[in-house]
């Protein structure tokens, strides 16, 4: 079967994530220990037992989600004989999930991926003071309409340095905008006039994937420059281009751009459909991406694999 692995982004974290895998599979336990050692932090304890307030901090949630995804992959390799060359056509990650995808496909060492995501979360939070930035989901608008809303919200501000931009094109009728809080609030009001069914502020601590995150992009450029990155065993469909890439230098450049650019998830899934991918497997915690895939490309089978039972079921299908 032509199959792609996809890796979730921030928001999918939950207390208890990975606990069942660690109890059931030694390979998962070893992966969590490796991440803990790389960060000099008992991240796995935070994942298993909380508290939720600490797990949801960006600098913890990002490496935690990567660890949960990588634990699944390591079990699939050890218990199920997963071979990326034979079993996986493409890897795709939603925002931070690109680092999970690259580590899963052996382009990044696990410790490097964990440290990069820790730094990425810290840099994103530092880029904009808490309370100044915001994000909102515009439900019922396509990406082009959302871009018009964001542009109008930017131009309507008294302070012309304010920014509102499309951050995520997640699925038909589900687009996220990001920027200065007052500009995002204006976008919510303007979106109604453009036919949005509903618009809601998102519970995030920074305006991700907006030009306001430029300082974080600079920090990631410096950090990535110090890390070895190899060609992934399966091509990465990049958030920035919605096209496959394997060249390590190009991947690094796109990872830097991704901090401030639109996550082109809808287009990425359509690309997979156009290549003949028959099944998309969400690897790790949650089912957000599985739901989006079903909306974007109903002809593709989609499943989530994050629990021991789900891992066993996929092993049977490999």
Dist CA 188 CA 149 (whole Å): 8
Catalytic residue among 87, 94, 180, 209: 209
The first and second tokens of residue 53, run together, are 């307030």
Q: How many whole angstroms separate alpha carbon 225 and alpha carbon 29?
A: 30
Cα(299)–Cα(302) distance, rounded to whole angstroms? 9
Could you give the count of Cα atoms lying within 13 Å of 6 in the half-sphere of its Cβ? 29
Strands 3-7 and 198-201: unpaired
Tell me the C-alpha distance between 50 and 271, whole Å: 37
162: left (phi over 0), alpha (psi -120 to 50) or beta: beta
Residues 153 and 184: beta-carbon distance below 8 Å: yes
User: Is 95 annotated as catalytic?
Assistant: yes
Strand partners, 168: 176, 263
Q: Which of 95, 178, 210, 304 is catalytic?
A: 95
- Per the annotation, the verdict on 205 as an active-site residue is no
Q: Phi and psi for 294 in degrees, rounded to 5? A: -65, -35
**DSSP three-state, residue 187:** helix
Question: Which residues have a catalytic role annotated?
Answer: 95, 209
């Amino acid at each position: 079967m032509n199959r792609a692995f996809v890796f979730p982004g921030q928001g999918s974290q939950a207390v208890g994530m990975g606990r069942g895998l660690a109890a059931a599979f030694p390979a998962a336990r070893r992966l969590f220990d490796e991440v803990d050692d790389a960060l000099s932090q008992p991240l796995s304890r935070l994942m298993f037992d909380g508290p939720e307030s600490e797990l949801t901090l960006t600098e913890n949630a990002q490496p935690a989600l990567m660890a949960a995804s990588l634990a699944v992959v390591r079990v699939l390799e050890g218990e199920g004989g997963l071979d990326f060359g034979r079993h996986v056509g493409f890897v795709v990650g939603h925002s931070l999930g690109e680092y999970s995808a690259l580590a899963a496909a052996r382009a990044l060492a696990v410790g490097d991926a964990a440290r990069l995501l820790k730094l990425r979360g810290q840099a994103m939070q530092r880029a904009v003071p808490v309370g100044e930035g915001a994000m909102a989901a515009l439900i019922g608008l396509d990406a082009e309409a959302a871009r018009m809303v964001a542009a109008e919200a930017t131009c309507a501000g008294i302070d012309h340095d304010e920014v509102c931009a499309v951050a995520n094109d997640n699925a038909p009728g589900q687009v996220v905008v990001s920027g200065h809080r007052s500009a995002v609030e204006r976008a919510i009001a303007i979106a109604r006039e453009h036919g949005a069914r509903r618009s809601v502020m998102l519970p995030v601590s920074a305006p991700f994937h907006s030009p306001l995150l430029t300082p974080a992009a600079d920090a990631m450029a410096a950090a990535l420059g110090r890390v070895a990155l190899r060609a992934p065993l399966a091509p990465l469909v990049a958030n920035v281009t919605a096209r496959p890439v394997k060249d390590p230098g190009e991947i690094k450049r796109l990872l830097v751009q991704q901090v401030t650019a639109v996550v082109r998830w809808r287009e990425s899934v359509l690309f997979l459909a156009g290549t003949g991918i028959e099944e998309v497997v969400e690897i790790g915690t949650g089912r957000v991406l599985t739901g989006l895939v079903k909306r974007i490309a109903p002809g593709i089978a989609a499943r989530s694999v994050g629990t021991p039972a789900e891992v066993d079921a996929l092993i049977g299908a490999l």
